[in-house]
Amino acid sequence: MNDPAAIRGGPGETAPAAAPLSAVGRGRLALTFDIEHPDRPHWRPDTTDRLLDILAATGIRATFFIQGRWAEANPAVARRIADEGHLVGSHSFFHASMPLLSDSGLEEDMTRATAAISASTGMDPRPWLRLPFGHGVGDPRVMAAIERLGYRHVGWDVDPRDWDPRSTAQVIESEIERVAMSRATSVVVLHGWPSGTVPAVAAVIEALRVRGVEFVTVDQLADDELPAGIPSGPETPV
């Protein structure tokens, strides 16, 4: 399960077609949140707390990839994520594009993130990592370095673009529901700061639950259900 060699894919590899939901009768969906310092104007400082409120009220566990620098600045919220039973992963320390770092710089950033996340949450984030921007997938040097440090990258196959200021809550919601209802497993990338994310997540949970979709954390998915890459397109996710 935690063997990094089992990570499949790279940017040039085509993922096998997911089985349609109708064939399996029930879909599984992993909500994943990149928790980081926002660099966009459309954010609210209490977004992560409001997300946790919704997840607690609905009894759903999600996966949180936490930036180390954010954890140092927000230790109480970081602790809350772990205390409420969510899966904790790393989103690096400085949120740098990993291919731009030297081997020693990459190791220093990742090790510092592990320490900061562990100190604030009480949880070891390994092996779960989301590379900032998804950069470094398919780069043998980066992938070998994160493997040495005990990590594996988790990509995504649904990007409802909550980071885009033009994405309303309705747009985010409808994109997640459209994809979730068409395949057996989905890994959705969301963020801990955009203003549209909280109402979208609340609506998605309400709409998909009644349709029998099961919400899971990424450690509940099999290796071949975890996307290593990211969808191709003009996105600039954070």
Residues that bind Zn ion (CB under 5 A): 34, 36, 132, 238
Q: Which CB sits closer to Zn ion, 9 or 194?
A: 194
Q: Which CB sits closer to Zn ion, 109 or 177?
A: 109
Distances (CA, A) of 166 to 38, 40, 101, 194, 234: 16, 12, 32, 11, 15
CB of 142 to Zn ion, least distance (A): 16
* Residue recorded with tokens 């992560």: 48
CB of 131 to Zn ion, least distance (A): 9
CB of 118 to Zn ion, least distance (A): 19
CA distance 217 to 178: 20
Q: Which CB sits closer to Zn ion, 34 or 164?
A: 34
CA distance 121 to 79: 4
CB of 34 to Zn ion, least distance (A): 4
Q: Which CB sits closer to Zn ion, 36 or 177?
A: 36
DSSP type of residue 89: E
CB of 130 to Zn ion, least distance (A): 7
Q: Which CB sits closer to Zn ion, 40 or 209?
A: 40
Dihedral angle, C-alpha 159, 162, 166, 168, nearest 10 °:
110
Q: Which residues contact 108 (CB under 8 A, 6 or more apart)?
A: none
Half-sphere exposure of residue 164: CA atoms within 13 angstroms, side-chain side: 14
Q: Which CB sits closer to Zn ion, 153 or 183?
A: 153
CB of 95 to Zn ion, least distance (A): 6
Other C-beta atoms closer than 10 Å to the C-beta of 73 total 13
CA distance 173 to 42: 18
CA distance 25 to 188: 20
